[in-house]
Structure 1
Amino acid sequence: MKKEKKDFVFPYSNRGVENTLENGLRACVDWVEATFKTVGTEQLVTDLLQMNFDKFYPDTGRYGYRRSIRCGSISVYFDGQEDMGIHLEMKGRGCREYEGYNLLSWKELFEVFLRYEVSFSRLDIAVDDFKGFFKLKEIQKKIKGRELVSKFKLANIQQSYETRTGLGQGLTIYYGSSKSDIQIRMYDKLSERSNNNYNVPKDINFWNRTEVQLRNERAQTVAKILATEEDGERTIGQTVCGILKHYIRFTIKGKEKNRSRWKTARFWDKFLNGVDALSLSTNPVEPQTVEEKEMWFMNQAAPTYALILDAYGGDPKKMAQLAKYGRQRYKKEHIDMINRFIEKNKEG
């Protein structure tokens, strides 16, 4: 069964993004997790996030919390132990959804959070390379050839393979542990999107992502930079560049035994110079809509629908039976999607 193709929204219309992409690079917030001890669930949604509380629906608990509410890919967990407070989680898609609501910038949002004694437990900053400053196979070769000088003891290289064809599905390189306060990841974002059935624009033929995953104190520090520095968003590239420079350096093999004296590889210098100049950009994506589902149905499932309709002679009872079966499999997000569609049409 073919999977649904999900829309990918490229940020052509966002302020500052055009300049950011002139050198083929873009930086964005790609994960936010934070805990609040002094605010309630509704206050977090309405006063801090400035979202409509009615858009959230009940969902299951996690991370030691018994319950949660959710809007798209933005979740708030609550009803834990007395000292746990409430926990906000915005994964990559949740970050894009929040940007799509056009409420607060990341600087403004983090400023608000910090007024309420927030504890950031995770903050990811992603740098997207659409130009091809380096290829991951080149990085792999450098690592195996001892041409990586790093604070990390290990680099973990992973690649998935399709069992039927034996073809690789994209390379991922990890520096540091996912549980430590900092981890750096490099991976083929274009392959990841394609393999997960996203519709990527045809003019994107290269897309590598370098992610800096920060936890606890380090996440708190970078969030404060974004929130409190006058030009925090415009200098996010300098922050990421400083982290990358401190932890990893790709070199040209020299004659000296001390590898720290080897010259930095030109491609790495060029990449870091590009990152250094980056501003924080936004890449909003609307939550999945009825219109998107309809487009997928037309492209993927319409022939099957017509086949069943014709085979049963257009029997309305059979089609009603199929619809009934589909409704039994609804999830909360499907109900939420329908309600948004109805509300939008009322407003129109």
Structure 2
Amino acid sequence: MKSAASIDWLTFSIKGETDPHAIVKRYLRIDPALFVDHPHGKYGYQRSMSFGNIFVFHDPAPDRIGDMGVCVSMSGSGCRTFEAHTTLHSKDDLTTPFLRLVEQLHADENVNVSRVDLALDDTEGYLDLEVIAAAVDENTINSRIRKRRVVKGYDGTIKDGTTVYIGAEQSDFRIRIYDKAKERYKPTEPEYNKHWVRFEIVMRGDNANGFVNALVNTDDLGLLASGILNDKIAFIERTETNITRCEVCKWWTDFVDSVANIKLVIKEETQHRLLKSIDWVKRQIAPTLSLINDAKGFFMIREILAIGTSKRTRQQQAILDDYRNSYYIDTRQATKAWSEQDGCTDQILLHVPVRSVYPD
């Protein structure tokens, strides 16, 4: 697969609803106990709850007109959190549960999808950001979209990524093209210089609902995405005064052709929140624990753990439960493997990923 696609933003609202916990259960299929309540909101809502950049807004302000219901908004990282924690399973093991979620939203007449972003990833070298930026400067783009902007970043004197925007910031259709590798990795990491250009399509309002409608009525996301590209934009060789007669650049044709073969997949795996906590403890707390162990012995560590267990919050317990539900614990194999090391008889848990699912 020369290109890949993922949903990188999703915002939808459900009219006639007031209970955010019920929405999380019914649509996202995530344990509501994982979410933290906030006494503030957005989009005209007074309150919200969040988990891993998934935000659920509720309690509309008194001056708001109409039935606002409850609103769910997931940024890019929120979308990855949804994929990692939802029990809404896909139809097969290759595609994302987003397809099932979109089907559910489309079937509910009370749901309005106000924004959806489709991210197309080029890792094969079709898209050159400098060539695309030059096309904006030289107006070698055939598109009805008039607003265009290029932003070049620098870290001192070193170039630190280029981003191209085609379309106004709050328009119903906008394209954003940028270097995903430079956004994701640090300059010291080897992946920083690899080719990973993200072509992001931001759709709002009628465009968002139209995309959802088309997605649930097709088995071929690739053709749908390539059709959107062909309708909205083309990069051309300026050989004619009339822009519609100019030849389309081969690199652009190759990229669109590669998009025609993609499926909606999970592109970026998200580490479970519990594993992130373990990494944090190793970085920040491990030296202090080692001091306590050397000064007071492991019994003091056990006492600290007991205090921590008694003070565990509802959300922390929910994170543990979600982790346990996401992994099958095989203590027999682990105990055998552990006992073979240094003659230790204590048990260690071996985790093999298996996600439990809701029945259809």
The residue that corresponds to 1:278 in the other structure is: 262
Cα distance in 2, alignment partners of residues 345 and 45 from structure 1: 20
Cα distance in 1, alignment partners of residues 234 and 210 from structure 2: 23
Q: Does 1:28 align with 2:6?
A: yes
Higher relative contact order (CA 8 A, sep 6+): 1
Opposite residue 93 of structure 1, the aligned amino acid is S
Residue 195 of structure 2, aligned match among 199, 202, 206:
206
Residue 74 of structure 1, aligned match among 36, 54, 64:
54
The residue that corresponds to 2:243 in the other structure is: 259
Q: Does 1:58 align with 2:37?
A: yes
CA drift at 1:242: 1.7
Q: Is the 8 A contact 1:39 1:116 kept in 2?
A: no
Q: Is the 8 A contact 1:170 1:191 kept in 2?
A: yes
Q: Which secondary structure state, in structure 1, belongs to the residue aligned with residue 17 of structure 2? A: coil
CA drift at 1:65: 0.8
Cα distance in 2, alignment partners of residues 343 and 37 from structure 1: 29
TM-score (norm 2): 0.73
Residue 110 of structure 1, aligned match among 70, 95, 102:
102
CA drift at 1:61: 1.5
CA drift at 1:166: 2.0
Q: 1:279 to 1:201 in 2, by over 3 A?
A: farther
Q: 1:337 to 1:226 in 2, by over 3 A?
A: farther
Residue 220 of structure 1, aligned match among 198, 209, 224:
209
Q: Which secondary structure state, in structure 2, belongs to the residue aligned with residue 246 of structure 1? A: helix
The residue that corresponds to 2:163 in the other structure is: 172
Query: What percent of counterpart residues are identical?
Result: 26
Opposite residue 221 of structure 2, the aligned amino acid is I
Q: Is the 8 A contact 1:212 1:240 kept in 2?
A: no
Question: Which structure 2 residue ranges, 5 or more long, are not aligned?
Answer: 90-96, 330-360
Q: Which secondary structure state, in structure 1, belongs to the residue aligned with residue 43 of structure 2? A: coil
Cα distance in 2, alignment partners of residues 53 and 280 from structure 1: 26
The residue that corresponds to 1:250 in the other structure is: 235
Counterparts of 1:314-333 in structure 2 under 5 Å? none
Q: Which secondary structure state, in structure 2, belongs to the residue aligned with residue 173 of structure 1? A: strand
Q: 1:273 to 1:54 in 2, by over 3 A?
A: same
Q: Which secondary structure state, in structure 2, belongs to the residue aligned with residue 28 of structure 1? A: strand
CA drift at 1:286: 3.7
Of residues 126-135 and 65-74 in structure 1, the stretch that sits farther from structure 2 once superposed is 65-74
Question: Which structure 1 residue ranges, 5 or more long, are not aligned?
Answer: 1-21
Q: Is the 8 A contact 1:238 1:275 kept in 2?
A: yes
Which structure has the bigger radius of gyration? 2
CA drift at 1:94: 1.4
Q: Does 1:149 align with 2:128?
A: no
Q: 1:345 to 1:36 in 2, by over 3 A?
A: closer
Q: 1:283 to 1:115 in 2, by over 3 A?
A: same
The residue that corresponds to 1:7 in the other structure is: none
Q: Is the 8 A contact 2:6 2:267 kept in 1?
A: yes
Q: 1:284 to 1:142 in 2, by over 3 A?
A: closer
CA drift at 1:288: 4.7
Residue 71 of structure 2, aligned match among 87, 92, 100:
87
The residue that corresponds to 1:120 in the other structure is: 113
CA drift at 1:337: 5.1
The residue that corresponds to 1:187 in the other structure is: 178
CA drift at 1:84: 1.5
Cα distance in 2, alignment partners of residues 109 and 45 from structure 1: 12
The residue that corresponds to 1:47 in the other structure is: 26
Cα distance in 1, alignment partners of residues 4 and 170 from structure 2: 26
